[in-house]
Amino acid sequence: MVCLVPVLLGCSLIAAGQAPVTDSAAIEAKAHAMVSKLTLEQKIVLLGGVDSMYTQAIPSIALPRFKMSDGPLGVRTWGPTTAYAGGAALAATWDPALALKVGEGLGKDARARSVHFLLGPGVNIARSPLSGRNFEYLSEDPFLNAAMVVPYIEGVQSQGVVATVKHFAANNQEYSRHNTDSEVDERTLREIYLPAFEAAVTQAHVDAVMNSYNLLNGSHATQNEFLNLKVLKGEWGFQGILMSDWEATYDGVAAANNGLDFEMPSARFMNAQTLVAAVKNGSVKESTIDDKVLRLFRTALRYGFLDRPRFDPADSTYSVADRAVALEGARESLTLLKNEGHILPLDAAKVKTIAVIGPDAYPAVPGGGGSSESQAFEPVSILTGIANLAGPGVHVLYTRGLPDVNDVFHDTHWEGGIQAATFPSKDFTGTPETTTPGAIADWKPEMWGPEDKTPRSIRYTAAYKAAKAGKYLVLAAAAGEDAFTVQLDGKQLLAQPHAEGQIPQSTTIDLSAGQTIHLVADYLPHSPGVRFGLGIADEAGLVSDDARKYAAAADIVVLAVGFNPSTESEGFDRTFTLPWGQDALIEAVAAANPHTIVTLTAGGGADTRRWLNKVPALLHTFYPGQEGGTAVAEVLFGQRNPEGKLPVSFDRSWDENPSARFYYPIKGADTSLHVVENGKPPADYTIGHLKYEDGLMVGYRYWTTTGKHPLFPFGFGLSYTTFSFSKLSVPSTATSGATVAVSFDVTNTGSVAGAEVAQLYVSDPSAKAKRPERELKGFEKVRLAPGETKHVTLNLDARAFSYWDESAHKWTIDPGKFVIHVGDSSESTPLHAELTLN
């Protein structure tokens, strides 16, 4: 039979793996026909998920349930998978063509697991290096985010899988994300925090958007009229499904009336109990419910979800082709930040012994923690990648170099023992039950747990005597939503307020030989059991003897430091300093061997002040995915030329970051703001207002406008070759709103092949409104052989010259002088020319 009207006759609309078809009269008729067969109660059932990762099925209309999976670094919910370069790493490639390949790979991986909706990509702006999910997102710049997310989404959806762009919007920190109100003026929203979402909707035609946990200007995102109705579904014309993040819905009627279509993981609020009554009393229109159901049905019909089984044996669960894409992503993302004396690339003929040291050397660290953490089939660590490439002729020495957290707790010798008093209350009142444990070492690295309904509070009292003079690490850790404080001789030393998640807290103190200190730790468990640890250790003594011995014996040391899924993750913010002990490890290893190359695993910048001038090389790996170890080895030994460019500005210190003064509000004051050491939230942090008073001055916009300089600028990255820019051509005048073509030459002036990212920035010195000194408005990755030149043309549309006029509520160009800058970072733009827009 020839199927002339496939949807109406039930024939297959698209073959497995094909992109969705556009909407049509036939699809619209079928969707309305399906809705007409449902009762109000059945329609409302469809507004909430089931079994954590599924939509609801309605057997009476042959509607199956649709399957979801966490992303965006891998299809992580349903077992082992391909783990691709993390969002920040992908952005560091500055390669939209690679983003398309990654999206296609994710789509294939999802299809092979019968997944209909991939919960990614994430495009929130990296406003601060502390945000725990920056590694999942992309960059500090809206133009770069948009340029990378459009092909990513197109790649996913080309495989017949719905992409879900998230987290909409202004979700730029993890700490207290359910209860924080991001107060952002409209111009800042439009110019910084919304453009990547806008591109996802209007250019990539993404078919699902996920609201964030936070409030925006007084209203939760899931019930925010401005975000969801005015902007997303109104101005941008979004026709797909707007879903909540998991447990991010707070009011069923408000969410239903303000654009939310789908509540996950279940209908706690948008359920029949709430909405049937609301429809009957007129507070929610039934047509509003119908619109939400129609969006689901249209999407299912456009993707062919109703016409064929999701499983296709032609789809590979373990894909060698996708593994090659993961390797390509890792290779392109590695960003060389320092190469003193051209220590890199290594001369393989001269390296007989190499020491690979550090907590991130083994096992592999493909990505950060939380819902994006993907279990790769065969992740390659830095250690194994180097050993595999070096071969049997090179001796490879390995040690972690530092103890584990619980080792510190167990190995602490408390002078005179420990007293643990457990009170039958939450405020250390009542008659306690006292014990004398041998160690304060019950910590477990758990993120979530059920609430303990039995009131308890535990106070530990102990003394510590320093064996010798020096710096001592004080380390404390709890889990989940537990809280604690640690006092030293009556003064607060460490604190962990009640929060969704946490990491071990630490500081260093100076002690003299024989000095005795007294510690009191007050611990408030949120979940059953005890998950608290406390210890003290001589900082220099943390570094293992093997680390020093191996470093001294090696020709070259590769020291792998940074964060991992337990220290950089969804649910909590990370520190700006490296995790405890790592600064001391770098100092000790560099002292033992000056030929020490540091690799840094992090979603952005970190504090390098204690050691950067003591090592000759620094390679930023971000979170490179499952093939990171192979890519690192190739770059170190010169088989690949590093080509990553920073997608964020790399600050010297946390307090230099433009968001630092506006990141954590202080309890008891709506507008009083405070810079906190190392980016840790203070103990008296209040849930409430976050005023984005840094405004447009995010990342390089701040640095270039103020004339100050970060440690490494946005767009920066070294190569084993050199490049030059020349022959900039810009029209002297153009009509406002017309496309402007800018062209120039890029030449490889070195002796090896390499890739350069030509970056174009626009300045608007004559604007009526205050604007950043420059903004990225174009780029192209150029691959060149030695001596080769490529002519590059970048086209600038009206938006490249526009700013958001809050009084007129529209994008505006002020005619006058503009300046075009071209170069290889936000601070290195050797070419510039003026342009007048009439």
Answer yes or no: are the C-beta atoms of 546 and 479 closer than 8 Å: no
CA–CA distance, 158 with 422 (Å, rounded to integer) = 58
Q: Which residue among the candidates 95, 181, 207, 245 is catalytic per the annotation?
A: 245
CA–CA distance, 120 with 126 (Å, rounded to integer) = 16
Q: What is the CA radius of gyration of the chain?
A: 28
By CB neighbour count within 10 A (0-12 exposed, 13-18 middle, 19+ buried), where does 642 fall?
A: buried
What Cα–Cα distance (Å) separates residue 256 from each residue in 283, 670, 747, 758?
A: 10, 30, 56, 46
Tokens representing 828? 């290195």
Q: CB neighbours (10 Å) of residue 708?
A: 10
The angle, 0 to 180 degrees and rounded to 10, between the axes of the packed helices 582-592 and 545-553 is 40
Answer yes or no: are the C-beta atoms of 155 and 101 closer than 8 Å: yes
Run of H or E residues at 591? helix 582-592
CA–CA distance, 148 with 781 (Å, rounded to integer) = 12
Complete DSSP assignment for 597-635: EEEEE-SS----TTTGGG-SEEEE--S--TTHHHHHHHH
Q: State yes or no: is 764 an active-site residue.
A: no
Answer yes or no: are the C-beta atoms of 783 and 749 closer than 8 Å: no
Looking at residue 570, what DSSP letter applies?
A: T
CA–CA distance, 654 with 676 (Å, rounded to integer) = 9
CA–CA distance, 320 with 6 (Å, rounded to integer) = 35
Q: Which residues pair with 17 in a beta bridge?
A: none
Omega before 167 within 30 of 0, i.e. cis: yes
Q: Which residues pair with 508 in a beta bridge?
A: 473
CA–CA distance, 10 with 307 (Å, rounded to integer) = 6
**What single-letter amino acid sits at 123?**
V
Q: CB neighbours (10 Å) of residue 555?
A: 16
Complete DSSP assignment for 42-90: HHHHTTB-BTTTBPPPBGGGTB---BEEE-SSS-GGGSSB--PPPHHHH
CA–CA distance, 797 with 792 (Å, rounded to integer) = 16
Answer yes or no: are the C-beta atoms of 85 and 102 closer than 8 Å: yes
Report strand pairing: 491-496 vs 483-488: antiparallel
Vertex 498, ends 495 and 502: CA angle to 5°? 70
CA–CA distance, 409 with 415 (Å, rounded to integer) = 14
- 416 Rama class: left (phi>0) / alpha (psi -120 to 50) / beta: left
Tokens representing 126? 């990296």
Answer yes or no: are the C-beta atoms of 823 and 830 closer than 8 Å: yes
Tokens representing 454? 């039995």
Vertex 110, ends 109 and 114: CA angle to 5°? 120
Run of H or E residues at 636? helix 628-636
What Cα–Cα distance (Å) separates residue 434 from each residue in 421, 558, 777?
A: 4, 48, 65
**C-alpha 507 chain-centroid distance:** 26
Tokens representing 331? 């290779």
CA–CA distance, 289 with 275 (Å, rounded to integer) = 9
Vertex 122, ends 120 and 127: CA angle to 5°? 170
As annotated, the active-site residues are 245
